[in-house]
Structure 1
Amino acid sequence: MICCLNPDCSNPLNPNGKKLCRTCNTPLVPLLRNRFRIIQVLSDEGGFGRTYLAEDIDKLNERCVIKQLAPRVQGTWALNKAIELFEKEAQRLQELGAHPQIPTLLAYFEQDNYLYLVQQFIDGQNLFMELQQKKKYNPSEIKEILLDLLPVLKFIHEQGVIHRDIKPQNIIRRRTSFSSKTVVSGTSGNLVLIDFGSAKQLTAKAQMKVGTSIGSQGYSPIEQIRDGAAYPASDLFSLGVTCFHLLTGVSPFQLWTEYGYSWVNDWQQYLKSPMSREFTQILGKLLHKDIEHRYKSAHEVLADLFLTQQPQSKSTVLTAIKHIKKLSTTQLLTVSKSHLVLRNSLLAAGAIILFGTAEFWYQQFRHLEMRISASLSQSNSSAANREAIFNQHTQDPLGNFSLASTVRGYTSSILSIAISPDGNTIASNNNDTIKLLSLVTGQEIFTFSGHSNIVNFISFSPDGQILVSGSEDRTIKIWNLATGQQIRTLERHTKPIHALAFSHDGRILADASNDNTVKLWNLATGDEIRTLTGHSHWVRSVAFSPNNKILASGSFDKTIKLWNLATGQQIRTLEGHSGKVTSVAFSPDGKILASGSFDKTIKLWNLATGQQIRTLEGHSGKVTSVAFSPDGKILASGSFDKTVKLWSVVTGRQIRTLEGHSNGIQSVSFSSDGKTLVSGGDDRTMKIWQASL
């Protein structure tokens, strides 16, 4: 059969050999682009063209899906907009199709005045069709669906894309290779998210503007239907509604038509059987009408699912294990908290071997992380003395950073910026709160509130599970990043806290206070280990050496003190600055200490000898912050002169000056891959600088 490509044809299938469509008399095309044979119409796109099932003759007649753009719209603007959205869908599939649970883009072209998008065919049926056959799902199957889809949402959100039309019709369960029947449960990785035609690139500008609502009524959240605004939390609402529909068999469109959004307040009344309290809370948070009370990220939902998961079947356990293997190291560390619960449940089920498998994969990821960390901390030279390297004529690193975006909306100076170890999240102070933002999109993810005065400093733990903040209120607060809750408050200082640092094993927290002391804390218990005294003025910076043996502290008394971490004794005092010391940082190989000062200079010190290596001069204002790139080749410095300067650590030469801030800079920070630099300051903006090749 030959399929007519006229989108208005009422009976498009024709016998082979025909030249003209027997229904509409349109010339028939045996092969699109001499490659794709159209088999049948899959759906009509409501005045914008059709979607076809086709065969790719270049791939042994492998099946594919072809979307046709033939918009029946009035006006040039509407036509151009339709073409723009279609092209963006192709671009998104090009970017996202590397994920195994998102269709791959195969081709994009124009032929006979129509645009065509060719994508991978997913052999299976969507969850709406599945529901019609199955009538409803049990809570265990809904959990498996969440475990299967949440990593996909996490992936697309990290790429800055919001799907905006998640519903059962857009989720296909892939058929297994060993059977022609669709498997309904226990098939981790078999759910595929399709139809990115409504997807929206998430940008700061898009968030601020009211747009055209896109999505499916009943599944889309209020901010999307009313304002055209879309966030990761919007997709999570739609996912929650999808789960509700599958769980109850009740159409959310009918509920929305009759009750508006009020039905989500009483969604539990539609349950046919009781669910666990923990899972009810998770689904309720997904379904919250108000976005501020909803989950902000897929990672948060995954964390809650793993922490409350009580495996009741082998398939559920296998699903969890497969997803543990897919998670990042940071997420695995969050998941590890639930191992005790998992172990007890599995022992009861006689599945000790399965638990061992999960624990084995967890340990493998931990060992991998340790090997990577060890390799980063090794010196790139076998020279016994760092000065010898400085005397070599080495080419300066490029340091090609340029401004990628500016984040606004702060009510006070940005005093501290930190980037999470996985490079996905930025934390920064905003007066007495802490903002958590996506590094990909600049979108605010969460706000931590609890301090009674200005937050001066924040830091992520090495495993990315914890955030700590020090404040003018003289306290340190420790926050659980997975839940957004306070773990504890540390109170022992008599004056404000201005700096914090984690030991590289994450066990010890050091702080710096205006009471002229440094305190060391046991993170596991919250107990004070010891107080380091010796500075005669405010202590404004602390840093651990990579081997966790030395702590450096910089003070307004113009000195830097090095402390033996094991004994708490002073090793030596570094003197040379003529102004207050504001910032200290160790190089990744642990051989150099950098210090910034109000004397407008940065000094590099040899840790082995305590001698100055060199002084970096070039700022016209006080230096407030210094940071090494992860490879140790570049040092960044922020200053009251409104600039960030990049320096070659080897030669001491200034590589580049980054300009754009309208007031003094208070904090600079590199991402763990060294490709992003973030700065913030007194102009109440955060600037994100990206490295180019």
Structure 2
Amino acid sequence: MSYCLNPACQHPENLGDRNSCSSCGKNLLPLRDRYYIIRPLGGGGFGRTFLAEDQDKLNELCVVKQLVPQLQGTSAQNKATQLFEQEAKRLQQLGEHPQIPALYAYFKQDDYLYLVQQLIVGESLRQQLDLQGAFNEQQIWELLADLLPVLQFIHNRQVIHRDIKPDNIMRRQSDRRLILIDFGVSKQFTTSAIATLGTTIGSFGYASSEQMNEGEAYPASDLYSLGVTCFHLLTQISPSRLWTEYGYSWVKQWQQHLNLQLSQELTAVLDRLLQKDMQQRYQNVEQVLLELRTIEAFLAVDTTQLPSHTPSLTGNQKTRARSLQKNLPAVTTLNPRANFAWRYKLLLGSAIFLVLGFVGYKYWTSQQPSTLMGHRGEVNTVVVSPDGKTIISGSDDQTIKIWDLNSQKLLRTLKGHTDWVYDIAISADSQIVSGSRDKTIKLWRLSGQHRTLTGHTSYVNSVAISPDATKIVSGSYDKTVKFWNLSTGQVDTFKSHSREVLAVAISSDGKKIVSGSVDRTVIIWNLKTLKAQNILVGHTSDVNAIAISSNNQQLASVSDDRTIKLWNLNTGREIRTLTGHLADINGVDFSPNNQHIATGSDDKTVKIWDLSTGEAIYTFKGHQGAVFAVDYSPDGQTLVSASADKTIRKWLVPK
């Protein structure tokens, strides 16, 4: 798929390899014959952001920003252009720091300005907050230890960020470090510029009074925003709402919103960061660190586990750094004057965390998924290979991609379909079968060689393959189920459904196939007689997906009616109905031990259900679009999901 960069284009997604947009006619060639646009990541204000491939760097993923002012008037246009160029300059100036995205390119093409920068794979602190809930005190100490040196770095280069908030702080997936992003409204300050009124830019609730009311920005302004960010993470209360209701008076009573007891040390630090009067605040990062380095809890943060970075300093900055070094203890050294009682509490707390917190830690790590990006369209289907080494996915971009399960690196792209890939399945010997909107079924080897099966007269929405790769089942919008015997070449067609067939499955013993349809029924077919054995009625809307347990005893079906139904595969009797998703359910899979099932929904979540109790025991959040498919790894320790947000996510399953 190619994506049109014309902001006025009504249908920017283009199927196939095209040189011009089918909707507006705009050129679709890569920017500068190098940057291939994959999909939009978002945008607003004065720019749109896209995920792209750098074809000069072996298709390395990057971020492309396009200047598209959503403002009227020459003055507003000029200001937007100024801010966009400013972000490029700031990234070029500051990108040497490993916790700030690097600038790759800045150019003009087709009357639009473009900025290309490093892709940061991870989640923002806002997303982390939504996922895990309120932060605890230890996490705030860790945030301060990791982020304050970054602020010190940019302030030493005379730059004020002016928009620090959870959305603009990323936690990088690879090393869990905090990354400061979005320098579009940052401001250069000098001795002469400090007293000069600037443009009022920032986020309501997070920006300081001098920034919002007077247009002035100082290092202390960023520190105020940092304090508000900590408040938001601790309470989950929107500072924007408090600001709208109470103005800046809310900061005087910020502690009344806490639901946990903070130490006196952290309370004092946040209280000084959250002063409305700038003169009552810390004036710079050095003052904050000077105070923090007398606090045991801050010093106990294991900064030795964080990658080190020593920025190059000017002469005056080196003198100031040496002066601070003489007066401050090393961050990784505990204050020797700490009393025994505090040390005892610290050791006891650590022991309790290790003993009682292990399960919670495993749950937390499971909530931090690896994200696989590379498809240029919605990802409709995903499976894990029987050897547990690879992930295979199919997409609207007409391709099948094979990924390394452990490293998440893209190993190979299979091309051959001429329309959306709706479903894939894999046999025990790693033969892949795919069904497509191009009305064909393809049987693939991992090398890319494939064989095409034709016979359906409409979209092939679902496929399944027997473990020995001798039998294939397919379901189609032509309302039929087809059974393909690859050994004999015989094809049998079942026509009992009255509407489109959306789901098929085949039992591991090869004796039964099951199909689900828009007609709201599930049919169990006997392959020996080639007749319907049971017609299961109970769903009140489309049946989107089905799965059979590995012991061939149970069947699970999911529907647009937001329910999961469990059935006895042999008798057709309904065992249980599970509810909990807030929208259509699209995917289902049994765990290898048949004790759980996983489901994916239009509500953007993945759930794991305990079949003995019927309860949803885990809910994974992170996808930004509907979840179309889920699949367990053979060892049951990993779950993968495919989504309309054009990503695949890999989740660790809690034990």
Query: What TM-score, normalized to structure 2?
Result: 0.48
Query: What TM-score, normalized to structure 1?
Result: 0.46
